[in-house]
Structure 1
């Protein structure tokens, strides 16, 4: 298919490009605080805001720039419609817990809405209905069953054969009273308020471990220490496992987003299909103009076809269904899914009550991240919270967790072995600019990237987490691990954990 518009050469998320964020220094000394938060996304910033509002001394660190991780690459839907989930939750957790999940998401939405009203935040907040649609006969009955779950849980919604977005559908399930916003415009105000309340923020400060004396102490890559009473791991992937075995209980997935202008008028609503490949559509505002966000093409990190093919597939979908007058942005996002699809929020292990974790949001971080901040801040403030037990990381549901646990870790083992046995003989001399290859240098598997100035960057492809072999991500120019989702720049620097150290550089002769 001939594309009418060109895909942008470099990935860039719309959210970060449309707002100016404050900058903060790197931590250069050891310090003391009451609560130390690792991770400057929606969970960390919301928790910092809630705690400092109550007079708690809080320090927040981020390995990179604030709001440049998962939160800065979200689709920013504030919704409890997390795919076809409620019938499954009823089957595996019971009706009461399934209802708690819905109400947790709606409480998160209410907290966001109340905060916006309190500070009169201009963040493009809009109430919207959310729609799951399908064109697959196999999913019609699944949507019918999901609607029965809605009725059982008193979730407002409707099952029909049409929706406002004018694309072919066979069945549609609507969830009423959801919302969307510009996440960085919202969180920038929370940062300002928390800083006014005494929050200290340090960027480019990587946490590598936790030591215990009387209280937990965060150790940074530069060997500085943050002595505190509580630690909140809001870093997407927990940097400290505490023998909670989180890498074996979650798997990473990537998704892709394109932002385009079209000749069509957007009808309102937020949309996602039920089947694969995934397709999600929502509207954003760019300088008063409509920007359509087309999302989808989920796959496990470091696995599958060339990642540029995913952007091209979304472009083809948008072109066919709506037409594209301008292709403005493209970017990708990564998130973690737990074995039972419910996030892990709470104490990192049963025996460590003062070290918290919040992870496994399954790409629904706006509500899950907000409720995580509320649950953990309530724990620290010694307040009751009705959702603690539902999300506790130490839970273990026998069905379906055992089977999924086995499948997930068999997949990791498969990629571990395949990477070690893979034989490559690509010639670096034949490499085109802005491309990469995997070859052997002195017998070691080596990744080589050539930039547009014909400069070569070579790295040892062995991931620093558990030793899997990383693969090239052509869409984002990164080296991605197919086992647990660590991601590195083409120079080998860590972009995304659980890896903490950069890839070893390799000298080319």
Structure 2
């Protein structure tokens, strides 16, 4: 049995039209690279690798784009759940800054890849407002502002008066960063794979569950549930929160988070630039707007892995998130149109798991554990591409799956 990734009613599927269909794998195939998983990581990897002289196969056990990507809230940010100055305290300032630079570069790459697509994926550049939930956290934000500014990241510091004047709600302090964006994540995944599949060197299969078997004569043998065998020189596991990558040893955790999409509003008066908003408190609350005038908000993270199925319980969580929105913008008149709970994964040290398998040559992982999953997927696809083509990437050790475990914080 697979993991139930979400319960409740999702918003993004209601925005889709003309969803492509792909065949189930029924006969043996050979390829240079097999990508297992047709979510965000697999979609970006397929799109990036499709430009190389490689034969690519992508297989997903579900319909393409209908796993965790359907529950993604579509906030794309280079800032991490771990602040830059917190990373610097644990892995050193040079490595911490380089990790943030990789995320910042990935944001630019996401903009480029979204703009290259032939259909609109509702990608919109936005600023991010990160506010202090308490006076104690205001001091942390001052430290973070200084660190970001020192290393050239576009950032502005706001005190409580500036917050009130510009956003209408009062918090002890905030930092306003540039370079982020919002997107319709499910549209992005589906369109990335659709356009990759149009290329001669990419074959896509859905409703195809696969299992690693053996390594023979330079090829990994991967058996599909139909009995067909995929012979692949390289494998990329982009299976998200369902990956069995020694997660206990690495300190990865699975829990559940909740999200809503509100009814439509006529305008967002007082919400400067419709920037994305999140807070320093853990677990944190966050919110963004959508193309059709809704607010998507999330948070209320909990330890249990799977979201409750009871509609009354989900309704209660939805009402709590709606109240959080109204604490910021009490004049907005809205209801909850969609509410769901979803499985969410994060690593113990705040970084994704990307790169070579610790002991199996030719096997890679692209697992974007954390609040920046889409950004991690982008930087991960580029790192793995370079390792496949050139044997290495200068930053691979920062996100390597076999890096030493080091827990940075607890919620």
Q: Same fold (TM over 0.5)?
A: yes
CA distance in 2 between partners of 1:383 and 1:238 (Å):
27
- TM-score normalised to structure 2 length: 0.86
Matched, 1:42 2:51: no
- Check the 8 A contact 2:41/2:367 in 1, yes or no: no
Question: SS at 1:378's partner residue?
Answer: helix
Deviation at 1:357, TM superposition (A): 0.7
**65 and 116 in structure 1: CA distance in 2 versus 1, 3 angstrom threshold:** same
**For residues 238 and 332 of structure 1, do their structure 2 counterparts lie closer, same or farther at Cα, with a shift above 3 Å needed?**
closer
Moved more, 58-67 or 157-166: 157-166
Q: For residue 205 of structure 1, what is the aligned residue in structure 2?
A: 208
SS of 1:228 mapped into structure 2: strand
2-structure distance, mates of 1:62, 1:119: 22
Identify the structure with the greater helix proportion: 2
Distance 1:365 1:177 in 2: 16
- Higher Cα Rg, which structure: 1
Residue 64 of structure 2 contacts residue 190 of structure 2 at CA under 8 Å; is this kept in 1?
Answer: no
Q: Is residue 301 of structure 2 the alignment partner of residue 298 of structure 1?
A: yes
When the two structures are aligned, how many residues end up with a matched partner?
387
CA distance in 2: counterparts of 1:95 and 1:152, whole angstroms: 11
- Structure 2 portions without partners, runs of 5+: 1-6
Query: Which one is further off, 336-345 or 222-231?
Result: 222-231
1:313 alignment counterpart: 320
Query: 1:75: how far off?
Result: 1.6
Q: Distance in 1 between matches of 2:15 and 2:341?
A: 17
Match of 2:238 among 223, 234, 239: 234
**CA spacing shift, 1:339–1:210, aligned 2, 3 Å:** farther
**Could you list the runs of 5+ residues in structure 1 that have no partner in the other structure?**
1-9, 409-509
Q: Is the Cα–Cα contact under 8 Å of residues 254 and 299 in structure 1 kept in the other structure? A: yes
Pairs within 5 Å for 1:164-313: 164-198=166-200, 199-214=202-217, 215-237=219-241, 239=243, 241=245, 245-249=246-250, 250-260=252-262, 261-262=264-265, 265=268, 266-267=271-272, 268-286=274-292, 290-302=293-305, 308-313=315-320
Give the structure, 1 or 2, with the largest relative contact order (CA under 8 Å, sep 6 or more).
2
Counterpart in 2 of 1:334?
A: 343
Normalising by structure 1, we get a TM-score of 0.70
Deviations 1:401-453 (A, max 9, x none): 7xx8xx99xxxxxxxxxxxxxxxxxxxxxxxxxxxxxxxxxxxxxxxxxxxxx
Residues 387-426 of structure 1 correspond to what in structure 2 (within 5 A)?
Answer: 387-397=395-405, 399-400=406-407
Partner of 1:140: 138
- 1:105 Cα shift? 1.1
CA contact (8 A) 1:125 1:180 kept: yes
> Helix, strand or coil: the match of 1:237?
helix
**Alpha-carbon contact 2:236-2:363 (below 8 Å) kept:** yes
Determine the C-alpha separation between the residues in 1 that align with 2:113 and 2:350. 28
Moved more, 372-381 or 313-322: 313-322
| Aligned-pair CA distance for 1:151 | 2.8
Instruction: Choose 334-343 or 305-314, whichever is displaced more.
Output: 305-314
1:277–1:296 contact (8 Å) kept in structure 2: yes
Between 11-20 and 161-170, the greater mean CA deviation after superposition: 161-170
Residues 368 and 377, structure 2, Cα contact 8 Å, conserved in 1 = no
1:380 and 2:392 aligned: no
Q: 1:297 to 1:128 in 2, by over 3 A?
A: same
